[in-house]
Amino acid sequence: MKSARPMNAKAVAWVAAMCLSVWLPGVVRSADTPRSRPGAPRAAEQFQQGRGTVEAVDLAAGTVTLRHDALEFLRLPGAITQFEVLHRSQLVGLKPGDRVEFDLQETGRGYRLTRIQPRR
């Protein structure tokens, strides 16, 4: 069996260039978003609203799974998604089947529910 040869400088440069070609377009696109322009609210300060139905509640993990309507601001069609909540106390009393409205806040890792309450 042959031993593996270390990569030469050309191969390392080629791999680095390929990685950048995949990563860089996303960075350029994200730099052109409204929230990155001067004077626009930072992502962490933006709240979005949604509606849905509770599928599951995990009080220990601080998460709720919702079957939600389309979330246009995320370009996400109606789906079932698990969200972290800001305070676990927000989950007390929620049960599968409850219709709710909620506020989402971008965290950098995804979205977190900052408010969830039964729909009126």
Residue with tokens 């676990």: 88
Among residues 71, 34, 82, which one has the least CA distance to residue 49?
71
Predicted confidence at residue 51, as pLDDT, reads 94
Average pLDDT over residues 104-115: 88
Q: Give the 3-state secondary structure of residue 91.
A: helix
Contact yes or no for 85/103 (Cβ under 8 A): no
pLDDT in tens, 64-79: 999 999 888 878 889 9
* pTM (two decimals): 0.60
- As a whole number of angstroms, the distance between CA 64 and CA 61 comes to 9
pLDDT in tens, 11-28: 656 565 555 555 544 443
Average pLDDT over residues 38-45: 45
Cα diameter, the chain: 70
**Does the pLDDT at position 41 exceed 90?**
no
